[in-house]
Structure 1
């Protein structure tokens, strides 16, 4: 058995193919006998993933590596109460069929509830979360294995919310999250590259090897932060135990069963970039943008590649402020210096829960009396009112307000200000423009800007561009596009420019002057 375990998938195929019919019959009888385990991992990456000690595992990359089988195998052999998620319920059919094939029947399966009672007292559930908020159907339900098939189909907030209830009342059962999937084919799945950045982002400063464990905590800003090891660390006043992650690549070359069926030839015949993604598991192969995507993905990536950190930033020409009030959304600020944007600054919504706290977050970041472009409706209105009360250079942005601007070509109008600001941002990102803008290399910003879609509608006797609403983008991303909106607001027409000549005093100087004048008057 130890000799077989050391063989590669290709070697095992050669061994099986070399057997005569009688030897193959005996092998089948042995594998189907009652003494054989229900499922064993194949040698190679599948075994590495099966035995990995990571808290959160991503297995896959290329197609055909036995991803779904790994999830089912864990449910059958190591876990007590598991759940496997797909984004849509119709996609669970393949999982049902595969489990039936492994067990030889559907005994113990209640298709109405999606619960499978397995041999050995184990339980496996099947779940789906089609809409972003559907994760609440599983709120508070404990499982010792949370498994995600085709992880790039899920919104990041769905994934993070669902794994929050990973727990078990049995201390002998291992608790883990296992994700399976291929590289994203649409920008909405790019968050997966960010979550497993040490393995998937080629520009990561400290890349990780396949199967290597890295440890992470959530810092006070609500962001992932890598830490040196598994030892508890202090986050604010709390001691937190880091969670480990890993990525284990696999391909059809590692799958004994599919390699003999000609599936590899099918993958080889796919057009690019799908071929590179599915055959080689290339997470950085170009994706075809949807036809109505407002800003091409490559334009944003080129703008981020142009970005260079500056010591001398030049005059700040506008500050985009998208405030949030509590919840999972963040308040975000984009600092624009002509055609160059500084690194974006964000904070949890609880930090900007009202007008005064929102203003306290934004004001220290203003330079050169730059206009502060603030969302003037909804939760942004209180921040706007308070900033105006400080006598600052404030410009209210109401995305639903009508627009009088037109595209650079002069052939289309905009249905509202939201369409205007995003289309003008698109024109500023056009690499053929004389001086295209540079954006900081922020993965969330990339996702925000590429999630916006447009359509052409009638507006009176003319045609106009209408953008996907913020709520619709939220449904796609699973969160608010705070960073994208903060950048886009700095492109609305009519933004006043900083006053030339004598530099205006800072808000601190004006506040101090007011106090001094008050003191002088009292003294008189």
Structure 2
């Protein structure tokens, strides 16, 4: 009989960042920095540490369910690791022979944290901590307890987000230039909170001396939490670079702000601090789960751009989800109508629920198709809930601010698949912008990032930056995807005329 040699697979952290992340004794360790550093892999290995303990039951959280199950994401990565250490796959959980289990769950809304009341989680893992709210994080620490003999602890990964609450939490480890301070990487500090105020110290005793009133009576024996931050970068992930060296090029191709954060790991880069749409929430647009209404509004928004490199962009909405996107280069009035009509039939959208920017070419399409027309320069409308006329320079500004608020609350979703996107007659998710092929998601994010807060008018009305300023940020093109996005708010504001009176349609 001839023995057949089999190649053994060794599961081990890579030297540097991953090894440091798996070696820290901190109660709370926040790991990461740039994209591609191996954060998720390190967290998944950490979850197996006490797999021989029958009471071991860590939970790995992402903000939405889709972020767990997306192709090549957290769950798929776990399937590459856990069967090799004896785990059996269940419904978003892995069970070990000892009885230990690792669960995966989402916390999309702050209220979801209360679903975990009464639980005991010895290890809480947050993948992409900046996606969670500050309130959710601190509340979940009340669930971080254990009767299995393992001291409870928390691990969390993140990419740089200068506007997030996490940036404030790890500020001591970050230099004035926005980059992690090398000699502070992995250093333990101690923390407690007095209301919303962080009280830090280099030792537990220092924290207790700064806030003695918090450590009196029954709490006299309580010790502050130890916290650390461990930065990593793609350059330490040798395995990724060996298998997918093109990923480094993807990061290099990003805009200035994104490249500084995801490639260079900078926590303080902000082009101007005037962004209307929060950076993190833009990344959530593809995975959010908006509230589904019993009878969701079905409507179409269209920006009939007709000049230079601009495209005609058409979006179909069901409630607050974009279910279809059509982009056409031919932007004559009849071309636009011929692109819209099949969408109206497929999604059962009324003529009056089809909205086109009626300036220029759009005006002809409005007349030809019998659609509603959008005039961004008209005065802002009265808020339908408060019945107060909002202080915006014009209707376009009002729609942008309202939509930004909705996006920043995680209430909007965009479906981007080969089935939902049509680019000049082809079903695909990539398009050429200034001669460069880009994923349509990146184009949408670029457009929305180009919308900035402007200086208030003399009357105190809010404004956004001008179209010319937006085009400069976008290399000369107009933010067609962003404009069609903002138009959706018009349907929540428009007046509906009835015989004898006028009301608002919500």
Cα offset, 1:406, TM superposition: 5.3
Aligned partner of residue 176 in structure 2, secondary structure: coil
Whole-angstrom distance in 1 between the partners of 2:396 and 2:68: 44
The residue number in structure 1 matching 2:13 is 41
Deviations 1:392-436 (A, max 9, x none): xxxxxx996544675467x89989xx99xx9xxxxxx955979x9
| 1-structure distance, mates of 2:165, 2:40 | 21
The answer for the alignment partner of 2:148 in structure 1 is 170
Q: Relative to structure 1, is the Cα distance of residues 413 and 243 closer, same or farther in structure 2, using a 3 angstrom cutoff?
A: closer
Q: Secondary structure at the match of 1:260?
A: helix
Task: Give the TM-score normalised by the residue count of structure 1.
Answer: 0.49
Report the counterpart of residue 223 of structure 2 in structure 1: 241
Give the match for residue 193 of structure 2: 218
Q: Which residue of 2 aligns with 1:349?
A: none
Deviation at 1:293, TM superposition (A): 4.8
Question: Which residue is 2:270 aligned to?
Answer: 286
Provide the rounded CA distance (Å) in 2 between the counterparts of 1:96 and 1:406.
46
Distance 1:167 1:184 in 2: 29
Q: Give the match for residue 62 of structure 2.
A: 86
| 1:225–1:260 distance in 2 versus 1, CA, 3 Å | same
Residue 65 of structure 1 deviates from its aligned partner by 0.9
The within-5 A match list for 1:124-203 is: 124-171=102-149, 173-184=150-161, 187=163, 190-200=164-174, 202=176
**Does the CA contact (< 8 Å) of 1:404 and 1:414 recur in 2?**
no
1:57 correspondence with 2:29: yes
Structure 1: distance between partners of 2:249 and 2:21: 26
Which residue pairs with 1:356 in the alignment?
A: none
SS at match of 1:215: strand
1:68 partnered with 2:104: no
After superposition, the C-alpha distances for 1:444-495 in whole angstroms (9 at most, x for unaligned) are xxxxxxxxx995533589xxxx9xxxxxxxxxxxxxxxxxxxxxxxxxxxxx
Change (3 A) 1:278 1:291: closer
> What CA distance in whole angstroms lies between the structure 2 residues aligned with 1:50 and 1:105?
19
Distance 1:413 1:273 in 2: 24
Where does the alignment leave 5 or more consecutive residues of structure 1 unmatched? 1-24, 33-37, 295-397, 423-428, 437-452, 467-524
- Could you tell me how far apart the structure 2 residues matched to 1:274 and 1:66 are? 18
Residue number among 221, 239, 257 corresponding to 1:257 in the alignment: 239
| CA–CA separation in structure 1 for the residues paired with 2:276 and 2:235 | 37
Does residue 1:276 correspond to 2:260, yes or no? yes
1:102 Cα deviation after fit: 1.9
The offset of 1:136, in angstroms, is: 1.5
CA distance, structure 1, for counterparts of residue 274 and residue 96 of structure 2: 42
Question: In 2 relative to 1, CA 412–59 (structure 1 residues): closer, same or farther, beyond 3 Å?
Answer: closer
| Distance in 1 of aligned mates of 2:139 and 2:271 | 28
1:40 is displaced (CA, Å) by: 1.9
Change (3 A) 1:227 1:259: same
**Structure 2 equivalent of residue 482 of structure 1:** none
- 2:100: which partner in 1? 122
| Partner secondary structure for residue 46 of structure 1 | helix
Output the aligned Cα RMSD.
4.4
Indicate if the aligned counterparts of 2:82 and 2:94 stay in contact, CA closer than 8 A: no
Larger Rg: 1
8 Å contact kept, 2:86–2:97: no
Preserved contact between residue 139 and residue 162 of structure 1 (Cα < 8 Å)? no
Is structure 2 residue 494 aligned with structure 1 residue 458? Answer: yes
Cα 1:103–1:125 change in 2 (3 A) is closer
Classify 1:198/1:402 alpha carbon distance in 2 versus 1 (closer, same or farther; 3 Å). same
Moved over 6 A (4+): 287-291, 411-415
* Alpha-carbon shift at residue 85 of structure 1 (Å): 0.3
Deviation at 1:142, TM superposition (A): 1.1
Post-superposition shift, 1:104? 4.6
- Cα displacement (A) at 1:197: 2.0
Measured in 2, the distance between the counterparts of 1:197 and 1:48 equals 19
The number of residues matched between the two structures is 299
Aligned to 1:357: none
Alpha-carbon distance in 2 for matches of 1:104, 1:413: 53
Confirm or deny: 8 A CA contact 2:393 2:457 kept in the other structure.
no
Distance, in Å, in 1 between the alignment partners of 2:391 and 2:225 is 50
Tell me which moved more, 281-290 or 268-277: 281-290
Report the CA distance shift for 1:433/1:100 in structure 2 as closer, same or farther (over 3 A): same
Q: What are the Cα deviations for residues 44-98 of structure 1, in whole angstroms up to 9, with x where unaligned?
A: 0111111112111111110111111111111122463211001111222222221
User: Aligned pair in 2 of structure 1 residues 102, 287: CA closer, same or farther (>3 Å)?
Assistant: farther
